[in-house]
Amino acid sequence: MVPASWTGKLGGGTRRAHALSRGRPPLPWPGSVSAPPQTVFWGGVFVLFCTWELGTDPCRRFHAGSTPVPGLARGAPEVLLRKPAGRRAALHHGDGWGPAAFLPLRLLLLRELVRGALRAPRALPGRAAAAPGLRPDPAQPRVCQPQGLPAAVRRGAKRIYRLPVLTAPFCQALLQELEHFEQSDMPKGRPNTMNNYGVLLHELGLDEQLVTPLRERFLQPLTALLYPDCGGGWLDSHRAFVVKYAPGQDRELGCHYDNAELTLNVALGKAFTGGALYFGGLFQAPSALARPLEVEHVVGQGILHRGGQLHGARPLGTGERWNLVIWLRASAVRNRLCPMCCRKPDLVDDEGFGDGFTREEPPVVDVCALT
């Protein structure tokens, strides 16, 4: 597959400028959804780690950059993380770095499978079957119904989940490595167009050895269930980086949406106050910022959300905050419609994962927005 980025054909300047200058494009993602294989396989599973009550604080800003902000686990021994080479060796501290670095997501899946089987018949009253996935509504061609999706995936739900991802020792080891890297004179890129401080995981050599297995073996089974309509069963690339907030550096992050179908944001530490994440609705929605949900960080735990969900970070109070952010991408979805400008992307060849697009015709995955 040829990785590709999109050009700024539709707007001037950088990708961010392009995305943000377009404000809120008219969207609705059109189409019908065919259930991905994992969804069928896990028929009847209801995975819901946690949902939150709606918060009441209004979002203070809309545009990203409008402010100067600038491990599988004991349960899954098949992923053997190898010691990174060269300058990455510092991460091999003995504890934390290895298969036991991830919490046993698979066990959680199994537990939820059992629970889900019990809850499934009541999850969506009146539906014909409990299998997750979306089925075309014969009465409304190209409009899909959320039949079989977990009960939490109801119209209007934010569909934001918290899940355990990394162990505390692994977070500590990763933080140490990040600081070694920060203090080194190695060339560094910016994590994204909004954050000025942080590290791209591929610069640390951790993309293939840490993030890819995490995405393929642990996140995708979850996202296929939770977000079948957003390409959750078709993830094929990512952009992973660590963002850092500290006094005198970035302190907050303006409200934005991500260049991702889905995002996982894992708190690594350190000790800090403030910095909570807040979430509005999908950026395309008319009242996307009406009732934001505020979410505190818990070290090692990840927040899973749709990339198109408006969100930002409140100002840091004291201390330093480091978070691992993984923008999860599905070329089958974005090749059709760029998630930033909501138009057919105009592609140029790129290195690595590029921006997650590919030139190949994607498998047939039409999507629609549920909320």
Ligand X SMILES: O=C(O)CCC(=O)C(=O)O
Nearer to ligand X, 197 or 234 (CB): 197
Query: Nearest approach, Cβ of 197 to ligand X (angstroms)?
Result: 11
Q: Is 325 in the site for ligand X (CB under 6 A)?
A: yes
Nearer to ligand X, 145 or 323 (CB): 323
Q: Considering only the stretches 54-62, 76-84, 148-156, 251-259, report the one whose residues sit in contact with Fe ion under the rule CB under 5 A.
A: 251-259
313 binds ligand X (CB under 6 A): yes
Report in angstroms how near the CB of residue 190 gets to Fe ion at its nearest: 14
Q: Which residues 194-213 are close enough to bind ligand X by CB under 6 A?
A: 195
Q: Read off φ and ψ for residue 146, nearest 5 degrees.
A: -80, 45
How far apart are CB 219 and ligand X at their closest, in Å?
A: 16
User: How many CA atoms, within 13 angstroms, populate the side-chain half-sphere of residue 179?
Assistant: 12
Considering only residues 265 to 304 of the shown chain, the ones binding ligand X according to CB under 6 A are: 265, 277
Considering the complex, what minimum distance in angstroms separates the CB of residue 293 from Fe ion? 14
Q: Identify which of residues 33 and 299 has a Cβ nearer to ligand X in the complex.
A: 299
Give 6 or 322: the residue with its C-beta nearer to ligand X: 322
DSSP class per residue in 155-209: TT----EEEE-B-HHHHHHHHHHHHHHHHS------SSSS-SSEEEGGGGT-III
Report the partner that residue 243 touches, choosing among Fe ion, ligand X, none (CB closer than 5 to 8 A by kind): ligand X
Question: Which option in Fe ion, ligand X, none does residue 358 bind, with CB closer than 5 to 8 A by kind?
Answer: none
Residue type, 167: T
Round to whole Å and give the CA distance between 279 and 24.
16
Give the residue among 165, 161, 309 at the shortest CA–CA distance from 225.
161
Would you put residue 32 in left (φ > 0), alpha (ψ -120 to 50) or beta? beta
Decide: residue 184, CB within 10 A, 0-12 exposed, 13-18 middle, 19+ buried: exposed
Three-class DSSP category at 37: helix
Show contacts with Fe ion in window 324-343 (CB under 5 A). Answer: none
Q: What is the closest distance, in whole angstroms, from the C-beta atom of residue 109 to ligand X in the complex?
A: 25
> What is the rounded distance in angstroms from the CA atom of residue 172 to the CA atom of residue 91?
10
- Tokens representing 260 are 């991702």
The residue among 176 and 193 lying less far from Fe ion, judged by its C-beta, is 193
CB of 119 to ligand X, least distance (A): 31
Is the Cβ of residue 195 or residue 209 nearer to ligand X in the bound state?
A: 195
Q: Which residues bind Fe ion (CB under 5 A)?
A: 258
Q: Which residues bind ligand X (CB under 6 A)?
A: 192, 195, 243, 253, 258, 265, 277, 311, 313, 323, 325
